[in-house]
Amino acid sequence: MATRNSYMPNQYTAISVTQQLHPIFSKNLTGKLWTNAIVRGTAKYSSAILSGAAVVVWTGAVGSIGNAYAITFTDANGRYAVTVKTSNNNIAIKIYG
């Protein structure tokens, strides 16, 4: 029987993501057993935690919010997590707070 780890997606961490004009986080994602990955991070502006901020994720080219791959919100501690497909290795994240 396979271990539990073989059923879990890879996890990628965006540490202290900060607000900028351009995509603020870029990461190459590679899938192994799963075609999904969990991207998690903390939204900050300067040193302030952004609670209740919108987190918008694109795969491939960055466009408008309307064509975003995923949209989520930060919790009271500025933390967020979103699942993305690893078939497109480029992701971009913007924080709106």
Domains in the chain (CATH in brackets) are 4-96 (2.60.40)
Tell me what pLDDT residue 15 has. Answer: 46
Q: 63 near 51, Cβ under 8 Å?
A: no
| pLDDT tens by residue, 11-61 | 555 544 444 444 445 555 555 566 777 788 888 888 888 899 998 888 777
DSSP single-letter state for residue 65: G
Tell me what pLDDT residue 75 has. Answer: 93
Angle ∠(44,48,82) on CA atoms, nearest 5:
30
Angle ∠(8,68,17) on CA atoms, nearest 5:
70
Tell me what pLDDT residue 36 has. Answer: 74
85-97 burial, b at 16+ Cβ within 10 Å, e below that, comes to bbeeeebbbbbeb
CA 8 to chain centre: 17
Look at the pTM and tell me if it is higher than 0.85. no
> DSSP readout, 26-53?
EEE---SS-SEEEEEEEEEETTEE-TT-
Give 11's strand partners: 38
Flag whether pLDDT at 86 surpasses 60: yes
**Which has more confidence, 39 or 80?**
80
